Structure 1
């Protein structure tokens, strides 16, 4: 059976006509779906990039994976300009003989759900985030932020409510806010793929030398990952006379603004913004650090955090989304609170026993997200979506 997969992920098409992912939606990820589906059609935005050269590992299409490329846009304004064209493309592609999985939240998933529901076609949803947190104060800078928060939260609740099956990336957080209808099949399975390559053979012994090496991973396209809060915490740590250095892995339009903030707070020499890099290099940076930070304003179940835990790293996170499902209370801080974050970093650095006990605990916890375990839950979800079509 063919799967129609609708996602907010962005793709690019090279001059040779091949489509690549700049995220994790490459052919390696599609393998999990192809165990149950004969082929996949990905419905997503595709940007024409004829002059760019891409690594083969980023290839997102194959003999069994094709695309329904939607006009590329950015933001709500961009979508509204191309809404009619996008709607017509979806209408022509959607019929009752196919299976549908909508990766939500997102504008495209919401629109697809509306079209399918109107036609009486059942669909499954993968719930990977929370717009209530995404549009929380401080997360984005837009005059209509409160309106977006209300509208997209309500839209996601309705989309999930009308679904025939639901896969959540959290164990309970997203389920509570966005429940399915009574009796609808649902399962919890992170979209994180942890395998033997990522999990350390044993947690390393953490010994903080003269300078504490901090690392954080996240896009700077928005302020969801709270890079400004982390920078402010680095400045706050100067009061403790604690020598530390932050490496931020990720790129986006706010990168220059964060550099300006670091200069303003006199900590520019303590922070490196390294941009995007291959996964192997990311793992290398994480493994060579002392503490991993992920103090997001909004989250589903963060892949980067689980990967850092699998490397045997002590981690500090914020009390949002699925992060409290991953870390113990001693490792959590309030979102947006740079002073509390600085205090928590200092607590970790000055307590070697706490630092290493958290490293061991995280390493063991990450094993629960090994792909062998989660793949069984995903397969049950895929099979239920197929059965609903049959």
Structure 2
């Protein structure tokens, strides 16, 4: 069976034609090879020839894995010059596929869904985020795209025969579907050994006069991830005598956040660690004291679940799927420096011990085998419909 998988991308391509990604890994692809013997990914591709840069990504080695490279159609100019080519590529890719999975939000994914319906090809939609919130928080220009993108995705999801959401409530409410639905995160965690929690509790109890290290895992060049609000809040605490550091893991140009840290006098307290390989992320999380997700828009953030799986006491903004993970007493209004400041100031050892246990317990709901079985059962049901 041939599967067409559409997602926004991009994949990374080296000079030999090998593909790399942080999201699309062999482990992730294995879930699709359980229902298909051939997978064609329809996505954007970025060429990278710098070996040092390539090491930030994971090489894809799966067999029977193919890529249909499509140009961008995100700007007005790209729509004018590339839309006909993209539509032609989609027509061909959909026609050659037996089943289709479209990961949304994605401009080309909306077209894939529409084409699959027209050609009466069985398709499933994976909903991983809200384009309206992303565009609205991105820039002034983005605000003009927020409503059209929201309506386009709402149409794509509404009549999908099968829809998988990464949240349990938020995205289901925002983008309802009349077909079969399931809530199942796409996070992939290592084994949740009780020794992880014991190590965390020991770290908290031995904190003493060491600096309190706050951490966030997110791209540092995307303003709606909200790291600037943490920097501003911690600067107030440092002026009051608190010993705090902020460690940021994530790729992208960090000039803007560095300028914020310099302006608020805490540049020496903000550590930019760059993009970390997935296996190194958990090592980083074991060396921070509090994880914070200050985003202005999210689906259900995998980075937050990963932090909780290491027993990190966690704080987060009250948007998207974050309140599904964190106790409401440890959430704050997105963009509120005052609320972040108060939460951090009121943090004490007892709170951290209690939240470490709660976080680790909550993360067990995202056990990899549990999620894989839940997802695979849903995919198989979809495939049975396809055969019918």
Structure 1 residue aligned with 2:104: 104
Cα 1:198/1:69, change in 2 over 3 Å: farther
Pair 1:335 & 2:334 matched: yes
Q: How far does the alpha carbon of each residue in 1:168-227 deviate from its partner, in whole angstroms, 9 at most, with x for none?
A: 00111111111112xx11111001012317875434221433311111110124212112
Distance 1:65 1:96, change over 3 A: closer
The residue aligned with 2:91 is 91
Deviations 1:52-107 (A, max 9, x none): 46459712252221111223x48434642422222111111112751111000111
C-alpha distance in 1 between matches for 2:346 and 2:267: 23
Q: Distance in 1 between matches of 2:190 and 2:319?
A: 26
Taking the aligned partners of 1:135 and 1:310, their CA distance within structure 2 comes to 30
- Residue 124 of structure 2 corresponds to which residue in structure 1? 124
Structure 2 distance, partners of 1:268, 1:45, is 36
SS where residue 197 of structure 2 aligns?
coil
Structural mapping, 1:1-390, within 5 Å = 1-21=1-21, 23-52=22-51, 54-55=54-55, 58-71=58-71, 73=72, 75-77=74-76, 79-80=78-79, 81-95=81-95, 98-136=98-136, 139-143=137-141, 145-181=142-178, 184-196=179-191, 201-203=196-198, 204-205=200-201, 206-207=204-205, 208-210=207-209, 211-253=211-253, 255-348=254-347, 351-390=348-387
How far 1:376 moved relative to its partner? 1.8
Name the SS for the 1:68 alignment partner: strand
CA distance in 2: counterparts of 1:333 and 1:325, whole angstroms: 14
TM-score when scaled to structure 1?
A: 0.92
Distance 1:85 1:368 in 2: 43
State the distance in 2 between where 1:93 and 1:76 align: 23
The gaps in structure 1 that reach 5 residues or longer are: none
Q: Is 1:96–1:389's contact at 8 Å kept on the other side of the alignment?
A: no
Which blocks of at least 5 consecutive residues in structure 2 are unaligned? none
1: CA distance, partners of 2:380 / 2:73: 34
* 1:128-185 deviation line (CA, Å, top 9, x unaligned): 001232133xx21233x2321111111111010121100000111111111112xx11
Displacement of 1:303 in angstroms is: 0.8
The answer to whether the 8 Å contact 1:129/1:299 transfers is: yes
What is the aligned residue count?
380
Once the two structures are TM-superposed, the CA of residue 306 in structure 1 deviates from its matched residue by 0.6
Distance 2:110 2:236 in 1: 42
Deviations 1:350-377 (A, max 9, x none): x211111000110011011011111122
Q: Measure the CA separation in 1 of the matches of 2:93 and 2:84.
A: 15
Local SS of the residue matching 1:321: coil
> What's the CA shift string for 1:224-249, capped at 9, x where partnerless?
21121121112222343211000111
Matches of 2:50 and 2:196 in 1, distance apart? 42
The alignment yields a C-alpha RMSD, in angstroms, of 2.0
- The answer to whether the 8 A contact 2:163-2:177 is kept is yes
Q: What stretches of structure 1 move > 4 A for 4+ residues in a row?
A: 197-200
TM-score after normalising by structure 2: 0.92
SS of alignment partner, residue 252 of structure 1:
coil
**Structure 1 pair 150/379, CA: closer, same or farther in 2 (3 Å)?**
same
Following TM superposition, by how much is the alpha carbon of 1:380 offset from its aligned partner in structure 2, in angstroms? Answer: 2.2
Counterpart-to-counterpart distance in 2, 1:56 and 1:270: 25
The 1:215–1:74 alpha-carbon spacing in structure 2 relative to 1, beyond 3 Å, is: farther
